[in-house]
Amino acid sequence: MELSKNAQQIMDLVKDMNAVELNGVVKALEEEFGVTAAAVAVAGPADGGDDAGASDSVNIELTEIGQQKIAVIKAVKELLGVGLKEAKEMVEKAPVVVKEWVKSDDAEGIKAKLEEAGATVSFK
């Protein structure tokens, strides 16, 4: 697809963003224009199996951190296996998608642990 000069400049900027920054831009665009950005799955599962379970996956969004910020940071660190700095940065940018394409059963467990720490979590 051929892009206009302005569109190509935007594309170049987006390429340089990390996932957290890009998520922030998407949220801002959704709010500004009253739209919802939805991911579209175009490929089957990575294991090459049938795609019957593909719709069984969700993205886990940390919507609010609540009053127990430190507990939420610790929970994110433990659940995602990231360092303390990465967990802190992610929590402070809430609302943010903390994990993508998680099976519904696993997502419920992650949600329960984050909510136990005081966070508000939703599935997308």
> Would you say 14 and 25 are in contact if contact means Cβ atoms under 8 Å apart?
yes
pTM reported for the whole predicted model: 0.55
- Was domain 56-124 assigned CATH 3.20.20.60? no
pLDDT in tens, the chain (124 residues): 787 988 888 888 888 878 778 778 888 887 887 777 654 444 444 444 444 445 678 888 999 988 999 999 999 899 888 888 888 988 998 889 888 888 888 888 989 999 999 999 988 8
Tell me, what's the pLDDT at 72? 92
Tell me, what's the pLDDT at 52? 45
Tell me, what's the pLDDT at 41? 40
Tell me, what's the pLDDT at 74? 92
Tell me, what's the pLDDT at 26? 81
Residues of the chain with CATH 3.30.1390.10: 56-124
| 3-state secondary structure (DSSP) of residue 57 | strand
Place of tokens 């939420």: 72
Tell me, what's the pLDDT at 115? 93
CA dist 66 and 35 (Å) reads: 26
Tell me, what's the pLDDT at 37? 65
Buried b (16+ CB within 10 A) or exposed e, 32-45: eeeeeeeeeeeeee
